[in-house]
Amino acid sequence: MDYKRLELLAQVASLYYESGLTQQQIAVKLGYSRSMISRLLTEAHDAGVVEIHIHYPLERCPGLERILQQRLGLQVVQVLARGSLTYEQMLRRLGLLASRLIETLIEEGMVVGVSWGSALRETVNAMQPKSYSDVKVVQIIGALDTPDPESDGPDLARNLARLLGGQYLTMPAPLIVESPAAREALLNDPRVRKVLALASQMTIALMGIGSIEPNWSSLLRAGYITRDKLAELAAMGAVGDVCAIHFNMDGQILNDPLCNRRVGISVDNLLPVPIKLGIAGGEGKIAPIVGACRAGMVNHLVTDEVAALGAIRLLEGVD
């Protein structure tokens, strides 16, 4: 699109959105028909000249936050009031809530690690642009190569670094490889070693929390695991995963069949990270949230009312 066309689109958008003129008033002012002004506004949006951000009210549940923080020994808990929101609507607002928390946590000089997932995608999408001169973003697990690349580690790392004005490193490897030998070869690759070395310096890790329930399992959707393997994990006592590291309800890390084929940050390097933010909501994430927090893999939590209530009831039943 040429410069003059973009200039026209920007002029029309400015008159409509900033000056508050009606489409008819703009038409009279610029000598176009009202229908032409309507088409130009649509074109301005499609061309990226106009970006619309909706600032949803984010009601929280302080009572649930206090109980979860105490019962799971967490540093920070934020619980989104769910109301009548659909799962998709909840996920978008959960991402917005998480983004606001992250904006208060990130400082100059930090190394920020990202895993993958739909909740993390919504979080990155909701981030406001900043300008840090010395923030690094690093992908902490291999890529899934899913049909939805915006939820995958490489795109999330790039997009977050762009929004923060920082640098990024992506991991040139898949999340799960065919054999332990292939994993060892990748872990010894200089490029992968460089990424993992930076990941070991993380100040904050941004992570989704995965489930082993078939309807909620991202690993199953990505094709990295079968229903039979999920059943095997369930038989071992697994309730969920963080960074494809599985754990049971008591927070015990499991030596599952994927351990020796998984490429990414190790448990030993993840546990000492000062800020481990887990972002997950919905009924299918109740047990995974409890297990992840008990395992010490999450010490900051952003979740929704449904998962929070379920986690509290589950803890009462277990204890």
Task: Give the other-Cβ count within 10 Å of 28's Cβ.
Answer: 13
Confidence of residue 317 (pLDDT cuts 50, 70, 90): confident
DSSP secondary-structure letter at 254? P
Q: Which amino acid is at 143?
A: A
Beta strand ranges found along the chain (DSSP E): 76-80, 111-114, 136-139, 167-169, 204-208, 210-211, 238-242, 245-248, 275-279, 300-304
Which pLDDT tens digit goes with each residue over 37-92? Answer: 999 999 998 888 987 766 666 899 999 999 999 999 999 999 999 888 899 999 99
Confidence of residue 249 (pLDDT cuts 50, 70, 90): very high
Q: Which residue has the higher pLDDT, 84 or 183?
A: 183
Mean pLDDT of 139-154: 77
Are the CB atoms for 158 and 112 separated by under 8 Å? no
Q: Which residue has the higher pLDDT, 101 or 219?
A: 101
Given this model, what pLDDT does residue 226 score? 87
Given this model, what pLDDT does residue 17 score? 87
CA-based nearest residue to 206, from 272, 279, 109? 279
Which letter, b or e, does each residue of 173-212 get, where b requires 16 or more Cβ atoms within 10 Å of its Cβ?
Answer: bbbbbeeeeebeebeeeeebeebbebbbebbbbbbbbbbb
Query: In the Cβ-directed half-sphere of 251, how many Cα atoms lie within 13 Å?
Result: 15
Given this model, what pLDDT does residue 225 score? 83
Task: Write the DSSP assignment of 189-249 as a string of letters.
Answer: SHHHHHHHHHHTT-SEEEEE-EE-STTT-HHHHTTSS-HHHHHHHHHHTEEEEETTEEEET
Given this model, what pLDDT does residue 285 score? 96
Task: Kindly tell me if the per-residue pLDDT of 31 is higher than 80.
Answer: yes
Using a pLDDT cut of 90, give the percent of the chain over it: 76
3-class DSSP state of 274: coil
3-class DSSP state of 183: helix
Output the pTM of the full model: 0.82
Task: Kindly tell me if the per-residue pLDDT of 162 is higher than 80.
Answer: yes
Given this model, what pLDDT does residue 57 score? 66
Domains and CATH numbers, the chain: 3-46 (1.10.10.10), 62-318 (3.40.50.1360)
What's the CA gap between 199 and 304, in Å, rounded? 28
Task: Kindly tell me if the per-residue pLDDT of 273 is higher than 70.
Answer: yes
Q: Which residues contact residue 198 at a Cβ distance below 8 angstroms, ignoring those fewer than 6 apart?
A: 111, 136, 138, 169
Confidence of residue 220 (pLDDT cuts 50, 70, 90): confident
Which pLDDT tens digit goes with each residue over 104-142? Answer: 999 999 999 999 888 999 999 999 888 888 999 999 999
Task: Kindly tell me if the per-residue pLDDT of 318 is higher than 80.
Answer: no
**What does pLDDT average to over the chain?**
92
Task: Kindly tell me if the per-residue pLDDT of 147 is higher than 90.
Answer: no
- The widest CA-to-CA distance across the chain, in whole angstroms, is 73
Which pLDDT tens digit goes with each residue over 83-99? Answer: 888 999 999 999 999 99
Q: Which two tokens stand for residue 163?
A: 């929004």
Using a pLDDT cut of 70, give the percent of the chain over it: 96
Mean pLDDT of 3-8: 90
